[in-house]
Amino acid sequence: MQGKRVFYLMLLSSILLFLAGCAATSVSSQKQDTDKLVETNQGYLLIGLVNDYDLQALYVWGEENLKLTHEDLSAGENYILLPVKACEYHFGRIDYNFYYRTSLNEDEWRFEVKPGRINYVGHLTVEQPFYYFFANHIELENRAANAQLFMEKYFPGLLTSRDMFYAGPGQDRFYSLIAGLEEQQ
């Protein structure tokens, strides 16, 4: 009898520790054109999101786990700008509603936020075919020119004080090309 109690206590403790480790901090996109980096080991994370229906949550896993909520995940094309700790992250999970979700574990969902700059990781596209709810098409595309135009329109002060780089999977020289053109002028 004593052995069962110890077993159940250990099991309960393990579950609680696991759940505590999976906890994510709810965050929302920055709306004002002010520099909110307060520590030297922070950078900005810029995510483009294209979805044809409202999402409940998007989880970004890293040294600090982030949870974007429905406030930033409405249908259409959205940009999410967050001051975060500089480290490696990956898109971890998309919650469509309370019941349905998709885990994203492959390397193609990984990116690194570097300190002191705006790190654009790409446009996460989530589309639902009209014929079947569970068959979502999810991809991460590089639309650096669109992200640049968004930042120039809504965050011009931040864009002049911080350099912007592509931090998603693959290589992109778009921002270094822009920097070279600006130096020539």
Q: By CB neighbour count within 10 A (0-12 exposed, 13-18 middle, 19+ buried), where does 58 fall?
A: buried
Q: Which residue has the tokens 């885990």?
A: 103
Q: Are 80 and 88 in contact (CB under 8 A)?
A: no
Phi, psi of 76 (to 5 degrees): 115, -160
Residue 22 has a pLDDT of 55
Q: What is the pLDDT along the chain (185 residues), one digit of tens a residue?
A: 566 675 666 555 555 434 444 577 888 788 999 999 988 999 999 999 998 888 899 999 999 999 999 888 888 889 999 999 999 999 999 998 888 888 887 778 999 999 999 999 999 998 876 655 566 788 999 999 999 999 999 999 999 999 999 998 877 777 777 766 667 76
User: What distance lies between CA 36 and its chain's CA centroid?
Assistant: 17
Residue 3 has a pLDDT of 64
